[in-house]
């Protein structure tokens, strides 16, 4: 799926420990170097996803996040810092990622994903990680991921709980199969610890790396749900909805 780009000696030195992973090796690292990922919001979840993907050597990150850093961001949005309060979040994120990995190509977009920009943002990348809080923007991104046949890593958190799945257009459920409409009880702001968003963010980054470098078994057709309050982890089968308004027209097998 992704282009192989040869590594420099500096890159071989930086990524040495992960190149030692048997089913990844230098060929996997070359795929990551040639890969591009859209991260929809670099908040509690997306900050950690972006940081791990930057550390792992993904070539290009497209970051979409509107607004300025607020005090209430700082318990979990690890790319935001106290000295950046009141300044654009996406610039704080880009600054911190460049400190970690100066080789990284960053496209910083000071907007959230919407119906207006979803198509052009998704066109630019090989894979999307959804870290957004609003169902409207998640649904807009899902439609584009399905139409453009791009893998979508879906992650979410609440309180000490979190869930994650990896969606492959036409092969696995899409977001609209899983959640056909916004739940009435959902609120824009909710209780959560940064360690919870960080945990699921790390898992999301690993899912993206596995898909981009084509190794391991991603969470396709499965929802990993966990509660860090009692450390319960469950892996559940999820199913395509034959009457899904977004993906039911695709002619791939409907089984997961």
Binding site residues, other proteins, CB under 8 A: 41, 43-46, 130-135, 138, 155-159, 161-163, 173, 177-186, 189-190, 192, 197, 223, 225, 227, 230, 234-244
- Give, as one character, the DSSP assignment of residue 236: E
Q: Which residue has the tokens 């399905």?
A: 146
For residue 180, the minimal CB distance to other proteins (Å) is 5
Closer CB to other proteins, residue 20 or residue 185? 185
Contact 208, 155 (CB under 8 A): no
Distance CA 162, CA 173 (A): 18
Closer CB to other proteins, residue 6 or residue 71? 71
Closer CB to other proteins, residue 22 or residue 188? 188
For residue 16, the minimal CB distance to other proteins (Å) is 32
The three-state secondary structure class of 113 is coil
Rg of the chain over Cα atoms, rounded to whole angstroms, equals 17
For residue 184, the minimal CB distance to other proteins (Å) is 6
Distance CA 42, CA 48 (A): 8
What distances in angstroms separate CA 225 from CA 59, 127, 228, 236, one per listed residue? 30, 22, 10, 8
Contact 112, 137 (CB under 8 A): yes
Q: Which of 212, 219, 221 is nearest to 1 (CA)?
A: 212
For residue 147, the minimal CB distance to other proteins (Å) is 21
Specify the DSSP element, H or E, that contains 139. helix 135-147
Closer CB to other proteins, residue 57 or residue 173? 173
Closer CB to other proteins, residue 11 or residue 52? 52
Closer CB to other proteins, residue 103 or residue 235? 235
For residue 133, the minimal CB distance to other proteins (Å) is 4
Q: Which of 151, 236, 160 is nearest to 198 (CA)?
A: 160
For residue 142, the minimal CB distance to other proteins (Å) is 12
């Amino acid at each position: 799926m992704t282009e192989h780009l040869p590594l420099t000696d500096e890159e071989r030195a930086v990524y040495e420990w992960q190149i030692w992973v048997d089913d990844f090796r230098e060929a996997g690292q070359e795929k990551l170097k040639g890969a591009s990922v859209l991260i929809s919001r670099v908040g509690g979840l997306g900050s950690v996803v972006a940081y791990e993907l930057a550390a792992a050597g993904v070539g290009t990150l497209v970051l979409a996040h509107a607004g300025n850093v607020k005090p209430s961001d700082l318990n979990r949005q690890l790319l935001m810092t106290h000295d950046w309060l009141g300044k654009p979040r996406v610039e704080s994120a880009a600054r911190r990622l460049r400190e970690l990995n100066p080789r990284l190509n960053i496209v910083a977009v000071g907007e959230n994903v919407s119906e207006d920009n979803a198509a052009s943002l998704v066109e630019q990348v090989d894979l999307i990680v959804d870290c957004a809080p609003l169902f409207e923007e998640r649904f807009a991104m899902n439609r584009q991921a399905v139409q453009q046949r791009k893998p979508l890593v879906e992650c979410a958190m609440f309180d000490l709980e979190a869930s994650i799945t990896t969606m492959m257009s036409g092969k696995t459920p899409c977001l609209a199969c899983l959640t056909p409409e916004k739940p009435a009880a959902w609120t824009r702001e909710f209780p959560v610890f940064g360690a919870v968003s960080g945990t699921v963010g790390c898992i999301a980054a690993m899912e993206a790396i596995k898909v981009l470098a084509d190794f391991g078994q991603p969470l396709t057709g499965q929802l990993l749900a966990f509660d860090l309050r009692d450390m319960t982890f469950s892996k559940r089968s999820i199913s395509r909805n034959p009457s899904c308004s977004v993906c039911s027209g695709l002619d791939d097998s409907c089984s997961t």
